[in-house]
Amino acid sequence: MNIVIFGAGGRVGRAAVVEARRRGHAVTAVVREPARYPDGTAVAGDVTDADDIARVAAGQDVAVHAAADLSADPAAFFTTAARALAEGLSAAGVQRLVAVGLAPVLPGPSGALLMDEPGYPQEYRSFYLGHAAGLDELRSSHLDWAYLAPAGDFDHDGPSGHAYRFTDHGDPTARITPADFALALIDEAETPRHRAATASVTTPQGT
Ligand SMILES: NC(=O)c1ccc[n+]([C@@H]2O[C@H](COP(=O)([O-])OP(=O)(O)OC[C@H]3O[C@@H](n4cnc5c(N)ncnc54)[C@H](OP(=O)(O)O)[C@@H]3O)[C@@H](O)[C@H]2O)c1
């Protein structure tokens, strides 16, 4: 398949690029400044710009959105990106979008959003709400989207188990490596199981 990955220079984006290329897909790795990526395979594009998206998405089968800009207002960034993706991907004829989500905005053990569960840390709530606003934009789009979040958080140092599973609720203690999470992203890109739907991803042993 032809897969375009936004945020391809980030921690999750890099893992998605590696996994997609390992499976033999043709990957267009989109970053804002290709000169910062020495392997020479990245292309320039801004995930908040519909024209950029339409340009790099031309001829692609599916898009992955792993971009995040911690220097921007979260609600502005994630809503603008979701709207630009809806417009730009549609212009390019790409229907399928697999987005990297945020655990706190998906259901926790009680069924309430994880960020509203008792004791959940609140210091980054504006970031959670920004992600949630972007998810709302996806919900109102015509894209064939999936929003996959780690059930708890990423483990950037642990060993990869080369496996994952979906779980129906988040767990603040759950951890998954970006490499294992990328298995879920690229599986969803290849064979959609979640359509206009969210999902939490954990390890086979996780909650
Ligand atoms: N517990 C959780 O649920 C959890 C934990 C961590 C992360 N996440 C989510 O996972 C996703 C990926 O996170 P990450 O840790 O991989 O982030 P990261 O390492 O900061 O990477 C994000 C990438 O986004 C790119 N980017 C920023 N603005 C962009 C724009 N306007 N257009 C195109 N690309 C842009 C940046 O690339 P360049 O600078 O190269 O352009 C950066 O490399 C985010 O949505 C994040 O919120 C969830």
Average pLDDT over residues 65-83: 98
Q: Is residue 155 part of a domain?
A: yes
* Domains contained in the chain, number: 1
Q: Which atom of ligand 1 is nearest to the CA of 70?
A: 20
Residue 107 lies in a domain: yes
* Closest atom of ligand 1 relative to the 77 alpha carbon: 31
Task: Indicate the Cα dihedral angle 62, 142, 144, 43, nearest 10°.
Answer: 20
- Nearest-angstrom CA–CA distance, 176 and 133: 24
Query: Would you state the pLDDT for residue 206?
Result: 62
Q: Which structural domain, as residue segments, surrounds residue 24?
A: 2-202
Do 64 and 4 meet the contact criterion of CB atoms below 8 Å apart? yes
Say yes or no: CB of residue 68 within 6 Å of ligand 1: yes
Which candidate, 10, 14, 36, 46, places its Cα nearest to that of 27? 14
- Indicate which CATH number applies to the domain containing 143: 3.40.50.720
- pLDDT value of residue 68: 98
- Determine, yes or no, domain membership for 120: yes
Q: Is pLDDT at 134 greater than 60 in this prediction? A: yes
Assigned domain for 207 exists: no
66 lines ligand 1 (CB under 6 A): yes
In this structure, what DSSP letter does residue 36 have?
G
- How far is 75 from 83, CA to CA, in rounded Å? 12
pTM of the model: 0.98
Q: Which helix (H) or strand (E) element contains residue 165?
A: strand 165-167
